[in-house]
């Protein structure tokens, strides 16, 4: 009886221990899991660098990054805007030119010297990334010719890439003005219902059966700013040109043609790129009107 009772109590306590053990074990496993999850979540693409590629020689506008816009070099204006972004751990100017480097160091920017052989901004970003001591997960390519870039757009594309592990690239679009519909220099974009890019074109997409602009359709204009997963940036310049890329002369198409996913965010933004010397006056007028200094 005693034995039996002790036996039964023993077995019940054993059982309760086992149950308890499973609960505790489960809780520990859950805690480890959550910890690992949070750790991973916090870690995922957390280190972000903004790179402003700047070259002196330009076919259309020699010395463009240093052009004076209401009293400050254009590159300084871009850098000051980028500084206001909250998602960037570090910002560097990547240039092959000593004058640009000296100017940037003068207003407090970090500079990475890149070789003259870089054929475009993407290659320059990649070379700069390899030269940085710290490792980064995400690179934002901040074009130096958009001195009015909003820091919120930089933060937006970084966050969207951090939240989309299946994408290697993120970029931004804004509403297309009807008068730009058939301008081949204004690149149009169509996206799926999750905000992934389907296609970019210099032609109007989607194309209305009537051949005219549909005033009801929310057409999207691509903005130059883009961010990449750092591992993808290493292979991006080496990906062979693809047929659609070559036909449209749009670099980003080779990302899609190779089957990579690209996340697109929609923002409210008036594009004021500086491509030719005449654009400087336009942007200064606008800044005066908007009381920006
Ligand atoms: C084309 O645009 C017109 C407005 O201009 C719109 O009514 C129509 O639904 C659009 N699509 C087609 C297939 O016509
Ligand atoms: C940059 O230039 C190289 C060489 O012309 C080219 O292969 C590459 O596709 C270009 N663009 C990007 C985004 O890498």
pLDDT tens sequence across 165-178: 999 999 999 999 99
Give tens-digit pLDDT for 15-70: 444 444 444 455 555 555 555 555 555 668 999 999 999 998 877 888 999 999 99
* pLDDT surpassing 70 at residue 14: no
Q: What angle do CA 185, 190, 191 make, to 5 degrees?
A: 140
Q: Give residue for tokens 């890019």.
A: 197
Distance from the CA of 82 to the center of ligand 1, in angstroms? 40
The H-assigned helical ranges of 94-150 are 98-106, 121-131
Q: Is the dihedral of CA 59, 169, 175, 91 positive or negative?
A: negative
Instruction: Say how many CA atoms lie within 13 Å of 214 toward its Cβ.
Output: 13
d(CA 171, CA 224): 8
Among 79-88, 104-113, 142-151, 164-173, which is the least confidently predicted range? 142-151
pLDDT number for residue 59:
76
Distance from the CA of 139 to the center of ligand 2, in angstroms? 17
pLDDT number for residue 36:
54
Cis geometry, peptide bond prior to residue 63 (ω within 30 degrees of 0): no
Ligand lying nearest the CA atom of residue 204 = 1
Q: Quick one: average pLDDT of 209-231?
A: 96
| Structure confidence at residue 4 as a pLDDT band (50, 70, 90) | very low
Q: Quick one: average pLDDT of 126-152?
A: 94
Domains located in the chain, CATH noted: 46-149 (3.90.550.10), 157-270 (3.90.550.10)
Q: Which residue has the higher pLDDT, 84 or 44?
A: 84
Global pTM value: 0.83
Q: Which residue has the higher pLDDT, 262 or 29?
A: 262
Q: Quick one: average pLDDT of 120-128?
A: 94
pLDDT number for residue 64:
92
User: From the CB of 120, is ligand 2 less than 6 Å away?
Assistant: yes
| Structure confidence at residue 274 as a pLDDT band (50, 70, 90) | confident
Ligand lying nearest the CA atom of residue 216 = 1
* pLDDT surpassing 80 at residue 268: yes
CB 114 within 8 Å of CB 100: no
Q: Quick one: average pLDDT of 124-152?
A: 94
pLDDT number for residue 252:
96
Q: What angle do CA 164, 219, 201 make, to 5 degrees?
A: 75
Residues framing ligand 1 (Cβ under 6 A): 208-210, 214, 216
User: From the CB of 87, is ligand 2 less than 6 Å away?
Assistant: no
User: From the CB of 123, is ligand 2 less than 6 Å away?
Assistant: yes
| Structure confidence at residue 12 as a pLDDT band (50, 70, 90) | very low
């Amino acid at each position: 009886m005693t034995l039996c009772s002790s036996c039964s109590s023993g077995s019940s306590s054993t059982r309760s221990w086992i149950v308890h053990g499973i609960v505790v074990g489960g809780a520990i496993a859950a805690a480890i899991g959550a910890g690992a999850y949070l750790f991973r979540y916090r870690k995922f693409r957390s280190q972000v660098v903004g790179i402003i590629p700047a070259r002196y020689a330009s076919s259309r506008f020699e010395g463009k990054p240093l052009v004076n816009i209401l009293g400050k070099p254009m590159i300084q204006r871009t850098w000051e805007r980028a500084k206001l972004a909250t998602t960037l751990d570090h910002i560097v100017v990547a240039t092959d030119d000593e004058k640009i480097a000296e100017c940037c160091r003068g207003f407090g920017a970090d500079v990475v010297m890149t070789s003259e052989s870089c054929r475009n901004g993407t290659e320059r970003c990649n070379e700069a990334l390899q030269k940085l001591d710290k490792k980064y997960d995400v690179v934002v390519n901040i074009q130096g010719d958009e001195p009015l870039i909003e820091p919120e757009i930089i933060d937006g594309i970084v966050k969207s890439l951090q939240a989309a592990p299946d994408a290697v690239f993120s970029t931004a679009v804004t509403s297309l003005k009807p008068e730009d519909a058939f301008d081949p220099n204004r690149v149009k974009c169509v996206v799926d219902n999750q905000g992934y890019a389907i296609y970019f074109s210099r032609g109007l997409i989607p194309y209305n059966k009537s051949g005219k602009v549909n005033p009801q359709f929310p057409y999207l204009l691509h903005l130059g700013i883009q961010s990449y997963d750092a591992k993808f940036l290493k292979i991006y310049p080496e990906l062979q040109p693809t047929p659609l890329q070559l036909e449209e002369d749009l670099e980003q198409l080779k990302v899609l043609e190779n089957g990579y996913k690209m996340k697109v965010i929609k923002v409210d933004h008036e594009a004021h790129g500086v491509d030719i010397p005449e654009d400087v006056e336009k942007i200064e007028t606008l800044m005066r009107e908007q009381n920006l200094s």
